[in-house]
Structure 1
Amino acid sequence: MPPEDPDLIEMGWGKAPVKVKEEEEKKPGTETTPVLPKPAEQGYNHRKAAMALLRLRRNQNRMDKLPEALRNLLDTDDDAARKLLKDHGGNVDQMIEAANHMVFKETAEVDTETTTPLTEFQVLQMYGPTKGAEVIKEKKERGETVEDKNLAGNILYLVANDKLELSNKSGQRHEWSKGTDNRAPTQAPSSSSGSTPTPAPATPATNTQPEAPKVDEAKPKPKPNKKPKAMTATTPVDRAESLCNEVLKCKTEASKLSTQLKSLSYADQLVKDLEKYIVKFDSLYCDIRKLIQQKINEERPYIVHVKSFVELQKSFQDVKASASAMARGVKAKASAKKGAKKTTSPGEQAA
C-alpha cells in the first residue's frame, strides 16, 4: 500500500483504508475468520453447559481472569450464559473471545450515539487544513472511525457532538448580533425632529410613546437553524467540483498578473512564465471537467489530477510572489505620481 500523501489528505483526497480491530489481529497465513466460533459439538446439550458453568463459577481464579462483561453475565443471567456456552460447544476460550468481540461492538455503538460520523473533507472544513489533518491522524490512531455505507472503501471519522453543537450555537449568536445591530439606527432619527432649541423639552415626551412599537417592529424574526456545512455528505464528484474551482482561481490569478505586467518591458520573462501556468491550469481544468461530465464517482481517476494540481500550485507560488511584488511596485509608483500632482498649488502651476 503506498504511503499517505499529507497534501492530498489536506485537500480531502487520497484516503488510505483503515483496518478494523478484527482485521488488525489477522496475520498472513492465518484463517480469514478466526473470530467466528466453531460449530457446537454433537451431544453437547443444555445440561452439560449448566454443569460446565457450575465448575467455572467454583474456580475463583478463572472467574477473576474473565472479562468484566462476561463475569457479570455469569453472575446475573444463567440462561444467557448457558446458551452462550452451548453455542460454542463448551469451549470456554471461544466463549471469552466472543465476549470480547461483543464488548468491542457495544463500545463502538455507544461511540456512534455520542458522536457524529464526518468525512475527511467535512473535518477539514470544520477545523481548517492544519488542525483538521491533526484531528484525522488522531482519529485513525484511536480507531474512532466507521465504514461509510454509502461508498465502499471510504471511512468516516467520529466527531463529538458537543463540537457540532458549539458551532451551531456560535452561528446563532452571530445571527442575533446582526439582528440587534440593525435595530440601533431606528432610534436616531427621533432626536432630529426640530432645529430650534425651544421645542427641546417637548421632544422627550413625544419620543417615549413611539419608541416601544418601533422596537417591537424592528425585533428580528426567528430564523431557522442552519445546519453546519460540515454535515453535508460529499462524494468524489463534489470534491472534483471544488477542485475545478481551485484550478480556475489559480488560472485567474495568473491571468490577472500577466495583464498587469504586459506593459512593462523588464517583465517579459515573468509574463512568459505566467502564460505557461495559464495554459497548464486550463488543461488541468479540462481534464477534471471531462471526468465530472462522465459522472465518474470514484477517487482513483481523480488522484492523478489532484497530485498534478498540488505540484503545479507549489511551483506557481514562486512566480506568483515575484509577479505580485512587481505589480505592487507599479501601483505604488502610479499613486505617488498622482499624489504629487495633487499637492502642487494653482499658483505654482501658473508660474
Structure 2
Amino acid sequence: MPQTPQSDATGPRPALPAPRTPSPRDAPALKWGVIAPGGIAASFVDALHTYTGQRAVAVGSRDPARARAFAERFDIPAAHGSYAELLADRDVDIVYVASPHSGHFEQALAAIEAGRHVLVEKAFTRNAREAELLVEAARKRDVFLMEAMWTRFLPHMDVVRQVLASGMLGEVHTVTADHGQYMEHDASHRLFAPGLAGGALLDLGVYPLSFASMVLGPFASITAVGTKTATGVDGQASIVVTNASGAHGVLNTTLFARTPTTASISGSLARLEIEGDFYAPAAVRLISREGEVLDTHVPERRAGGLCYEAAEAARCVAAGRLESDLMPLAETLGVMRALDGVRRDLGVVYPGE
C-alpha cells in the first residue's frame, strides 16, 4: 500500500522521480516535409534544427512565395508551391501538418495516401469522424500517425506519469486545468473564423482535456457550459468530466482572458501542482495532504519544447511502430469525441460538418 507523503524526521523525505525522457539529440535523423509554413511551423522547425539532429528538407504552401521565404529563413533545401509537390518529394521521410484545424483532415489524408508518415498538429481534426477516417487510412497504408500534442512528450509530464503509476497520490479524485488567452476580437483571425474551425476549444481547450484524459483515462461523462463569440465560435467553455471510478476533471478554456494556465492532480494522500504554463516545460510540486511542499521538479530548460514530439516520432518510425505509446491513436480519438461533446453542449457547428 502507498504511504502518505509527508515530512517525517524518522524516514526519507518523499521525492519526485527524475524524468526518463531521452535526449532529443539522440533521436534518429529523419527528414521532414512541412505543410503550411505559419507560426507553429516556424516554432517546430526552429526546435527541430536547434535541439535535434533532424532536419526539415522541404516546405509546401499554396503560395509559392511564402514557401520560398520560409525555406530561406530556415535553410530548407526545397520550397514547393503546392502540397502535392511536397508529397511527391522523395527526400521527405515524414510530413508535419501545421495548417489551421479545418485543413488537417484533407492534408493529412493526402500525405497518408502518398505513403508518408504523418505528424498532425493538435487538435487532430475538426471532429471525431475525420479523426477516425485518418486512423483507418493510416492503418490501411501501414504508416505512422500521431497527434502533435507536444505536452505529452515533455520531461515534466514523464514525472507526472511516474507519480501516478507509483500510487504516491493515493486515489485520484480531482484534476484541474485551464488554458485561457486574451484575444482581441477580430472576425478575420482564424481563431474567430467558423470556416477555419476557430474558437477556444480546438486551439486552447484541447490542452486541459488531453491532460485530464492522460490522468483519468477514458471519460464516462462530459458536461459543458460556454459562451460564443460574435462570429459563432466558442469563446469560453467550462467543462466537467468524470471517469469510471467517479473522479472529476474540472477544466476551463477561454479567448476572453489570460488565465493562470495551471494544472493539479489531487488524491487521497497528496497532490501534484504544475505551474503555468502547465502545457509547456514547467515546474511540478509534490504537496502533502497537510499542504507542505515536499519536493519540486524544475525543468532543465524551457525553450524548444516542440523538439520532444519530433524525437518521439523519429524513434517510432525508426522502430517500425505505427503509433506512439505516449499519445496513442485510441486516446486521440477519445479526446476528439470529448471535444465533439463539448461543442454539442455549446451549440457550435463548423461549416460543412
TM range (shorter): under 0.3
More helix by share: 1
- Select the structure of larger CA radius of gyration: 1
Structure with greater contact order relative to length (CA < 8 Å, sep ≥ 6) = 2
- Normalised by the length of structure 2, the TM-score is 0.22
Q: Which has the higher strand share?
A: 2
TM-score (norm 1): 0.23
